[in-house]
Amino acid sequence: MSAPKVVGVVGAGSMGSGIAQLAAQSGARTLLFDAVDGAAARGAERARDGIARLVAKGRLEGDAQAIGARLELAGALEDLAACELIIEAAPESLPIKHELFAALSRIAPDAVLASNTSSIPITSIARAAQDPSRVVGLHFFNPAPLMKLVEVIAGLESAPEALAVARAAGEAMDRRVIDAKDGPGFLVNRTNRPFSLEALRLLQERIADVETIDAVVRAAGFRMGPFELQDLVGVDVGFEVSKSFHELSFGEPRWRPSTLSAQMVAAGRLGRKSGRGWYAYAEGTPHRGPDPEDPPAGGGDGRPVLISGFLPIADELRERAADAGFDVSEEADGSVPWLIVECGPGDEDSAPLQGAPRVLLCAEGPLAALDQGGAAAGFHALPPIGIVELTRTPATAEVSAQRAEAFFQALGRRTVWVADAPGLVLGRIVAQVVNECAFAVGEGVGTPADVDDGMQLGLNYPRGPLAWADAMGIDHVVMILDGLREEYGEERYRAAPLLRRVLAFHDDEHLRHDHGEP
């Protein structure tokens, strides 16, 4: 399928002008329309300025003036009659989109009509068109000229030929094109739902405060934490999206909105745009200070540590501990180590490791359940290790807490103390993101490769969630989910069937091996 040679864009805001810029860069004659007087001219100017900047920086080949000349203003919708593809980037209002698609399907009956909506089902939009089979979703990510991703969404009646035109257009724009089925959030926004929702739940339960949650997430490679992101997008925008997800899913527990978001919106604390959200924003003053440096690794001084467990995190800890100068063993040999680090459940036939201060991985349960009445401290981390989160109970011995903190800092890792829970902070957020990805793949909404590429290219994830799950171990993910479900008794934490199938039947395989695809 060749890319369309004439592309129309309806809506000249930041997204519409960005899409028009991409269309012009792809070589298509591009017609930009906006019903607001002067908006199309302003949008075209932004697009041409963007083209000029990319050419000047060497990121786009060609003559900026010639590329910009492909972008033309349309004075009326009727001027789009010759377009092969028309992309709608109007406000997120179903009545507005219905009016547009009804008109466009009369004006350009042979054109493929694509919506850039991020939240309204394509099937709902398509019913206003004379031929719903010509309607698809073509969802770009903001800012469109910089984000290398576009989702092609198939509505219930979208024809294969129409989807092929949309894919060809996206590829001509030099985007990574991923396919998604119609539904709440499509693929990428759906699989990212727990990033903010689980952070809000952690805050509500006082597992950690806003600053700590964000710092832990940033240390894992994310550009900003979930609360910083909410402030950037708008707390009110995120809350409305949450309500839409919950309504469209008929009450799916994983997508239940947070009462904390409702409270923030009621208070007018909407984020950066209002000057205050989860953080305060004053002109010339950063909303937070810089993250501290990691401590230098070393100082093990030959002290014996026993690191048990079969999870990948145990292997990374053994390697780091050896490099830091500790005398590392995997099994008890009769001597008393300086510290015992237990990474997950041990052999059922083995006696509990005792005789020294202990720190337990809080994955399959909270520390209070894993070491009932015992003196151990708790920890959690995911490979590759960023910050190590530590926790304790009233029974935790001070020597266990002190040695745990000293041990992880000797590995060159920062530590932070949080309240007790399965997976603590990062493990809990990542496990829920992986779980949502597994639900989406299992339901055929997208492929594993599309999920991972979508999260990295569309949302700047430091790594694909499913590849991350393979690296940390699917059993580690399921341990956290099962621990949370046991702790709270909520369907919100039920593990996706795909995760259990991988564990039960594919012990030597991974989520990235395209399970669930035909």
Q: What is the per-residue pLDDT for 516?
A: 46
Size (the chain), residues: 518
Judged on CB neighbours under 10 Å (0-12, 13-18, 19+), 293 is: exposed
Distance between CA atoms of 415 and 393, rounded to whole angstroms? Answer: 17
pLDDT value for 352 = 56
DSSP 321-376: HHHTT-EEESS--SS--SEEEE-S---TTSPPP-SS-EEEE-SSS-HHHHTTT---
What integer pLDDT is reported at residue 349 of this predicted model? Answer: 52
DSSP H or E segment with residue 48: helix 39-56
| 332 vs 432: which has the higher pLDDT | 432
pLDDT above 50: residue 518: no
> Which H, E and C letters describe 155-176, residue by residue?
CCCCCHHHHHHHHHHHHHCCCE
* Cα–Cα dist 167/212, whole Å: 41
Query: Given a cut of 90, is residue 515 above it in pLDDT?
Result: no
Can you tell me which residue has the tokens 């060749």?
2
The model's pLDDT over 146-162, given as tens digits with 9 standing for 90+, comes to 999 999 999 999 999 99
d(CA 24, CA 420): 54
Question: CA 244 to CA 246: how far, in whole Å?
Answer: 5
Residues contacting residue 105 through CB under 8 Å, at least 6 positions apart: 113, 128, 129, 130, 131, 134
- Structure confidence by residue, pLDDT tens digits, 81-116: 999 999 999 999 999 999 999 999 999 999 999 999
What is the C-alpha to C-alpha distance for residues 400 and 423, in angstroms, rounded to an integer?
A: 19
Residue-level pLDDT at 332: 83
Q: What residues are annotated to the active site?
A: 118, 139, 151, 189
Percent pLDDT > 90 in the chain is: 92
Q: Which two tokens stand for residue 452?
A: 């991972």
- 221-261 pLDDT tens trace: 999 999 999 999 999 999 999 999 999 999 999 999 999 99
Q: Report the distance separating Cα 217 and Cα 220, nearest Å.
A: 5
Q: In which band, very low, low, confident or very high, does the pLDDT at 323 lie, cut at 50, 70 and 90? A: very high
pLDDT band (50, 70, 90) for residue 513: low
What the block records as the tokens of 146 is: 């910089």
Containing 100, the helix (H) or strand (E) segment is helix 94-107
What does the alpha-carbon distance between residue 92 and residue 491 come to, in Å, rounded to a whole number? 31
pLDDT at site 419: 98
> Over 60: is that where the pLDDT of 507 sits?
no
Higher pLDDT, 31 or 517: 31
pLDDT tens-digit profile of 284-306?
889 999 999 999 999 999 999 99
Selection from 184, 138, 139, 136 nearest residue 156 by Cα: 136
- Identify which has the larger pLDDT, 465 or 333: 465
pLDDT of residue 284: 83
Q: How many CA atoms lie within 13 A of 200 on its CB side?
A: 24
Q: pLDDT class for 283, splitting at 50, 70, 90?
A: confident
Where residue 505 falls among pLDDT bands split at 50, 70, 90?
confident
The encoded tokens of residue 165 equal 């035109």
Q: How confident is the model at residue 347 (pLDDT cuts 50, 70, 90)?
A: low
Q: What is the pLDDT of residue 498?
A: 95
Q: pLDDT tens digits for 444-499? A: 999 999 999 999 999 999 999 999 999 999 999 999 999 999 999 999 999 999 99
What mean pLDDT do residues 191-196 have?
A: 97
**Residue 354: count of CB within 10 angstroms of its CB:** 10
Contact 120, 92 (CB under 8 A): yes
Q: pLDDT digits over 130-145, tens only?
A: 999 999 999 999 999 9
Which DSSP category does 32 fall into? Answer: E
Look at residue 298 and give its three-state secondary structure: coil
User: Distance between CA atoms of 56 and 295, rounded to whole angstroms?
Assistant: 41
The DSSP 8-state label assigned to residue 510 in this structure reads -
pLDDT tens sequence across 389-404: 999 999 999 999 999 9
pTM greater than 0.75: yes
Question: What percent of the chain clears pLDDT 70, i.e. is strictly above it?
Answer: 96
3-state DSSP of 417-475: ECCCCCCCCHHHHHHHHHHHHHHHHHCCCCCHHHHHHHHHHHHCCCCCHHHHHHHHCHH
